[in-house]
């Protein structure tokens, strides 16, 4: 949801980019030699050198879902909780704060820099999930804000907005006041305005320079990029912290590795919709180091011990109770504190449902070591069967396949499994999946026993996914073909055809409805794959040709855009594209969609098989004095010169018009004559008397498919309900689209 409010653009998490800004502030390390007594997280470089960082991890995680004035963000609190869970698994001590008002949010941030941030030997992370906003400053630059629960919209109360919203200038001040060595700030919000000029970071192995001062930044996407409510970036971020971003497999994740991982994976999984950015600050004193996460492996702290010949190691694991082996000998379950002789020792921890973890430690005389080993869970699986089968299987509301099916590589979480089959009651079960556990469930489906009220002519039904409306076309028999003696040769084979009742789209499929399909599946149309489509070089030119850049997004000429024509019928779609849309919607809803057969189309265009020449009747394109279609008219002639038109008629539009703009036929169907040609299911055959007469549809041999109805450049000849046209399945054009039918 977008709000255009004077000088502020507020961007709902549901529809705009998620911007992640990472501030990493590293204090210069104590200049003691590496073997000197010290406290802190110790990492090991590729060359085997130990590098001291800090003594612990802390995080403050904030999620705002329930806003007073702004649209609610149901997923913000859920995302914050998922981040907390991941951080705790990585050894963080986490404070979770949900739905803070301005006073509470300021108090939290003050606590972060005055209390938690006073400890220099600490890694501190602050995570915020909620609304963001942007205002334009006097110099033309932008300022970003994060929004607490009780902050008003800026245009309604500018003074109170400035008082309660937290600006990035405030955030920068807080970040500079924190004394902790590494500080990571994550804003799961949408705003623009840069705090720093940044330079590109170059990946490298961990060295002593990794602990030098640094400020790094990662954003989930460029400004104004739109993403779905379910954040692809957040999912990739959590997977990255779980170890996937450990590019060189050294057991650690640097800020640069994290940026590279997100830049690649978010772009791929969002199908190019998001472009994460990562940079280091452009400051020679603050761009040498690199933030370091543990990717699994070990967290090792060292502290001075009393004078002794041996050293001691305190070993813990997450989770606990892992079987501990030291130099091959079993030593009990974690946690354990053991004295070891100076030198190198191999530590192995095993636990059912987790991967075996092997680590090497260096023991020094008189030193104590704290070693925390992070175990990586083995994925579990859920095997789903149903009676009867097949039936659609849903995991947490998402369709994933049909029974029987086994869902693999699942994390140890709670899952909702739903099984659905038309004619049966929906079945669901909550499964608590343990680490590495295999669960088998069987859905015993119960047939729906209810009286189904038969629809009547003109009744409507709305598809729940696209919002597309359908009209009931009752079954019956009719004379199919040229009943007026003025048709083409392939219409002359008049025959009596019988059809069952069916649902037919009230209007042609629109750009908006087709975009839903593209956004969800990433499907590329035939024209997009081939790079060309049939159109004209520019508005106002009549010459038609195949050219680069013509497709459903640019339907008439290369510079043509659909952003202001989302309610127009989609065009430049092939028969193959229409079938892909049919398959997607059928799978998503469990309903039986299809392109109408040629017989169904003509029967519906003639309002249930009436003897009429056009969808609107036998004469001029009017119904009760209202214009009845978008056809070749006086407006069309102004562009196309001497073209054949319906003399004296002007529908205003030269090209496509919004669906439903003109009067419907007698059963409530719009644009059955005109606007765009419509693909049918049938293979074209010139003598369709050779096809059966009971629910006929021709699927025999042939290289061309039927299309019907005429278009915005339709003439009195080809706008007739019985007129037949045929094209290759890969063909697309500026005046060719489709509408859907559904079997009850």
Helices 74-89/232-239 angle, 10° precision: 10
Nearest-angstrom CA–CA distance, 458 and 362: 81
Does one domain contain both 197 and 309?
Answer: no
d(CA 277, CA 270): 14
119 burial via Cβ count (<10 Å: 0-12, 13-18, 19+): middle
Same domain, 141 and 290: yes
Range scoring the smallest mean pLDDT among 230-244, 618-632, 687-701: 230-244
pLDDT at residue 370 in the model: 85
Judged against a pLDDT cut of 80, whether residue 2 lies above it is answered with: no
pLDDT at residue 454 in the model? 80
Contact call for residues 471 and 667 (beta carbons, < 8 A)? yes
pLDDT of residue 17: 33
Report how far residue 98's alpha carbon sits from residue 80's, in angstroms, rounded to the nearest whole number.
8
Q: Does position 553 have pLDDT exceeding 70, yes or no?
A: yes
Q: Could you tell me if 28 and 212 are in contact, meaning their C-beta atoms sit under 8 angstroms apart?
A: yes
Same domain, 356 and 391: no
Mean pLDDT lowest among 229-238, 618-627, 629-638, 651-660: 229-238
Does residue 6 have a pLDDT over 60? no
- Residue 216's alpha-carbon distances to 74, 185, 364, 546, in angstroms, are 30, 10, 35, 48
Encode 169-185: b = buried (16+ Cβ within 10 Å), e = exposed. Answer: eebeebbeebbbbbbbb
DSSP 116: G
Res 452 pLDDT > 70: no
ω before 335 within 30° of 0 (cis)? yes
> Are 439 and 473 found together in one domain?
no
Region 74-95: mean pLDDT is 83
Query: 421: domain CATH number?
Result: 2.60.40.1120
pLDDT surpasses 90 at 532: no
pLDDT in tens, 295-310: 654 555 555 545 557 8
**193-203: average pLDDT:** 46
Average pLDDT over residues 556-564: 88
315 and 434 fall within a common domain: no
**pLDDT for the residue 309:** 76
User: What was the pLDDT predicted at 301?
Assistant: 52
Q: Which of the four pLDDT bands, split at 50, 70 and 90, describes residue 1?
A: very low
Q: Does 34 score more than 60 pLDDT?
A: no
User: Are 560 and 620 found together in one domain?
Assistant: yes
27 pLDDT band (50/70/90 cuts)? very low
Bridge partner list, 440: 383
Q: Please, which pLDDT band fits residue 451 given cuts at 50, 70 and 90?
A: low
Q: Find all residues with CB under 8 Å of 186, minimum gap 6, and list them.
A: 20, 21, 22, 83, 125, 126, 127, 128
Same domain, 224 and 252: yes
Name the residue among 302, 372, 297 with its Cα closest to residue 34. 302
Q: What is the CATH number of the domain that holds 547?
A: 3.90.1580.10
10-39 average pLDDT score: 31
Q: What pLDDT band is residue 20 in, cutting at 50, 70 and 90?
A: very low
- Tell me the C-alpha distance between 214 and 288, whole Å: 6
In a domain, 166, yes or no: yes
Question: What confidence tens digit (pLDDT) does each residue in 464-476 have?
Answer: 999 999 999 999 9
- Better-scored residue on pLDDT, 208 or 161: 161
Q: Specify whether 370 is located in the same domain as 411.
A: no
Whole-angstrom distance, CA of residue 31 vs CA of residue 117: 22
Q: Are residues 495 and 614 in the same domain?
A: yes
pLDDT value at position 196?
42
Most confidently modeled range among 114-118, 379-383, 433-437, 609-613: 609-613
Residue 678 has a pLDDT of: 98
Q: What are phi and psi of 193, to 5 degrees?
A: 105, 120
Same structural domain for residues 367 and 510? no
281 forms bridges with which residues in the sheet? 198
Secondary structure, 3-state, 362-389: EECCCEEEEEEEECCECCEEEEEEEECC
Mean pLDDT of 679-692: 91
User: Is residue 195's pLDDT more than 70?
Assistant: no
> Phi and psi for 470 in degrees, rounded to 5?
-125, 150
Q: What is the pLDDT of residues 219-274, one digit of tens each?
A: 766 656 554 556 677 777 787 787 777 877 777 787 788 778 878 877 777 777 77
Between 256 and 593, residue with greater pLDDT: 593
Point out the least confidently predicted range of 274-278, 413-417, 568-572: 274-278
Residues 353 and 488 in one domain: no
Predicted confidence (pLDDT) at residue 741 exceeds the cutoff of 80: yes
- The span from the CA of 246 to the CA of 240, in Å, is 8
User: 411, 444, 477: which is the final residue of a domain?
Assistant: 444
Q: Which of 639, 617, 638, 629 is nearest to 714 (CA)?
A: 629
Percent of the chain with pLDDT over 70: 83
Indicate the pLDDT class of residue 3, thresholds 50, 70 and 90. very low
- Residue pair 51/215 in contact (Cβ under 8 Å)? The answer is no
More confident residue, 115 or 6: 115
From CA 476, how far away is CA 501, in angstroms rounded?
7
Asked if the structure places residue 626 within a domain, the reply is: yes
Which residue among 294, 324, 352 closes a domain?
294
Identify the pLDDT of residue 208. 62
**Gap between the Cα atoms of 552 and 670, Å rounded:** 21
Give yes or no: residues 283 and 417 share one domain: no
Average pLDDT value for residue range 605-623? 94
pLDDT at 26: 28
Q: Say if 308 falls within a structural domain.
A: yes
Predicted confidence at residue 219, as pLDDT, reads 72
| Domain end point (choices 374, 392, 407) | 374
Q: What is the pLDDT confidence band of residue 33, given thresholds at 50, 70 and 90?
A: very low
Those residues with Cβ within 8 angstroms of residue 329's Cβ, 6 or more apart along the chain or in another chain:
none
Report which of 275, 340, 280, 349 is spatially closest to residue 312, judged by C-alpha positions.
340
**pLDDT value at position 565?**
96
Residue 325 resides in a domain: yes
Res 366: pLDDT: 84
Of 40-44, 151-155, 161-165, the range with the lowest mean pLDDT is 40-44
For the beta carbon of residue 209, count every other beta carbon within 10 angstroms.
13
Mean pLDDT on 607-620? 94
pLDDT band of 379, cuts 50, 70, 90: confident
The CATH number given to whatever domain includes residue 176 is: 3.40.50.1460
In the prediction, which pLDDT does 668 show? Answer: 95
Omega into 110 within 30° of 0, i.e. cis?
no
597 strand-pairing partners? none
Minimum mean pLDDT among 172-181, 222-231, 273-282, 713-722: which range?
Answer: 222-231
- Whether 7 has a pLDDT exceeding 60, the answer reads no
Summarize the confidence of residues 660-687 as an average pLDDT.
Answer: 96
| pLDDT computed for residue 434 by the predictor | 81
Q: DSSP letters of 616-649?
A: S-SSSSEETTEE----S-HHHHHHHTT----TT-
Instruction: Categorize the per-residue pLDDT at 607 as very low, low, confident or very high, splitting at 50, 70 and 90.
Output: very high
pLDDT band of 132, cuts 50, 70, 90: confident
Percent of the chain at pLDDT above 90?
Answer: 44
- What range defines the domain where residue 411 resides? 383-444
Tens of pLDDT, residues 322-366: 999 999 889 999 999 999 999 999 999 998 878 888 988 988 888
Of residues 126 and 452, which shows the higher confidence score? Answer: 126
Task: Specify if 352 maps to a domain.
Answer: yes
Q: Evaluate whether residue 698 is within a structural domain.
A: yes
Q: Return the pLDDT at 168.
A: 81
**Dist CA 237 CA 324 (whole Å):** 31
Lowest mean pLDDT among 34-43, 173-182, 447-456, 635-644: 34-43
Residue 286's pLDDT is: 66
In a domain, 572, yes or no: yes
pLDDT at 293 over 90: no
Query: Which is more confidently placed, 118 or 515?
Result: 515
**In a domain? residue 450:** no
Average pLDDT of the chain to the nearest whole number: 82
Domains: count for the chain: 4
């Amino acid at each position: 949801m977008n709000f255009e409010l004077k000088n502020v653009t507020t961007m709902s998490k549901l529809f705009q980019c998620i911007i992640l800004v990472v501030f990493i502030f590293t204090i210069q390390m104590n200049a003691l030699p590496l073997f000197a007594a010290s406290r802190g997280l110790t990492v090991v470089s590729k060359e085997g050198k130990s590098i001291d960082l800090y003594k612990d991890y802390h995080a403050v995680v904030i999620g705002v879902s329930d806003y007073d004035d702004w649209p609610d963000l149901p997923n913000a609190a859920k995302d914050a909780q998922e981040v907390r869970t991941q951080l705790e698994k990585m050894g963080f001590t986490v404070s979770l704060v949900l739905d803070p008002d301005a006073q509470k949010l300021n108090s939290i941030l003050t606590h972060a820099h005055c209390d938690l941030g006073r400890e220099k030997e600490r890694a501190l992370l602050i995570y915020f999930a909620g609304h963001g906003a942007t205002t334009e400053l006097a110099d033309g630059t932008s300022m970003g804000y994060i929004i607490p629960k009780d902050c008003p919209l800026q245009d309604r109360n500018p003074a109170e907005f400035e008082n309660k919203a937290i600006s990035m200038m405030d955030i920068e001040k807080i970040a500079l006041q924190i004394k902790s060595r590494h500080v990571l700030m994550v804003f799961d919000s949408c705003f623009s305005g840069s705090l720093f000029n940044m330079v590109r970071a170059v990946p490298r192995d961990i060295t002593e320079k990794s602990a030098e001062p640094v400020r790094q930044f990662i954003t989930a996407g460029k400004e104004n990029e739109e993403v779905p409510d379910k954040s692809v970036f957040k999912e990739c971020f959590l997977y990255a912290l779980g170890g996937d971003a450990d590019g060189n497999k050294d057991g650690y994740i640097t800020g640069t590795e994290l940026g590279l991982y997100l830049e690649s994976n978010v772009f791929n999984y969002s199908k190019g919709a998001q472009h994460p950015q990562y940079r280091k600050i452009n400051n020679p004193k603050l761009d040498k180091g690199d933030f370091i996460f543990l990717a699994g492996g070990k967290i090792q702290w060292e502290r001075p011990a009393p004078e002794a010949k041996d050293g001691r190691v305190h070993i813990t694991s997450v989770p606990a109770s892992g079987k501990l082996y030291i130099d091959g000998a079993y030593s009990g379950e974690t946690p354990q504190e053991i004295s070891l002789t100076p030198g190198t020792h191999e530590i192995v921890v095993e636990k059912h449902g987790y991967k075996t973890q092997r680590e090497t430690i260096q023991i020094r005389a008189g030193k104590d070591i704290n070693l925390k080993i992070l175990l990586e869970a083995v994925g579990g699986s859920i095997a789903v069967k149903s009676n009867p089968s097949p039936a659609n299987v849903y995991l947490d509301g998402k369709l994933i396949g049909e029974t029987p099916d086994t869902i693999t590589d699942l994390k140890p979480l709670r899952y909702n499994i739903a099984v659905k089959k038309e004619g049966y009651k929906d079945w669901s079960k909550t499964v608590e999946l343990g680490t590495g556990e295999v669960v088998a469930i069987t859905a015993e489906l119960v047939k729906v026993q209810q009286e189904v009220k038969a629809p009547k002519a003109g009744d409507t039904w709305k598809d729940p996914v696209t919002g597309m409306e359908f009209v009931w076309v009752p079954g019956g028999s009719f004379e199919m073909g040229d009943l007026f003696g003025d048709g083409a040769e392939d219409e002359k084979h008049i025959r009596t055809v019988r059809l069952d009742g069916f649902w037919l789209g009230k209007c042609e499929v629109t750009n908006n409805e087709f975009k839903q399909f593209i956004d969800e599946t990433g499907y590329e149309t035939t024209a997009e794959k081939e790079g060309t489509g049939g159109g004209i070089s520019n508005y106002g030119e009549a010459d038609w040709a195949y050219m680069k850049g013509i497709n459903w997004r640019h339907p008439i000429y290369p510079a043509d855009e659909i952003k202001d024509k989302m309610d127009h019928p989609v065009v430049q779609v092939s028969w193959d594209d229409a079938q892909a849309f049919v398959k997607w919607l059928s799978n998503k809803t469990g309903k039986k969609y299809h392109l109408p057969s040629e017989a169904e189309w003509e029967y519906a265009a003639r309002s249930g098989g009436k003897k009429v020449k056009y969808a609107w009747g036998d004469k001029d394109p009017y119904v009760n004095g209202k214009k009845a279609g978008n056809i070749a008219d006086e407006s069309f002639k102004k562009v196309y010169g001497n073209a054949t038109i319906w003399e004296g008629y002007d529908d205003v539009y030269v090209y496509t018009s919004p669906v439903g703009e003109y009067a419907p036929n007698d059963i409530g169907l719009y644009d059955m004559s005109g606007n765009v040609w419509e693909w049918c299911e049938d293979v074209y055959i010139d003598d369709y008397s050779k096809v059966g007469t009971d629910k006929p549809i021709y699927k025999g041999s042939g290289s061309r498919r039927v299309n019907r109805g005429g278009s915005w450049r339709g003439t009195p000849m080809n706008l007739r309900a019985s007129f037949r046209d045929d094209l290759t399945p890969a063909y697309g054009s500026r005046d060719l689209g489709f509408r859907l039918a559904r079997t009850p």
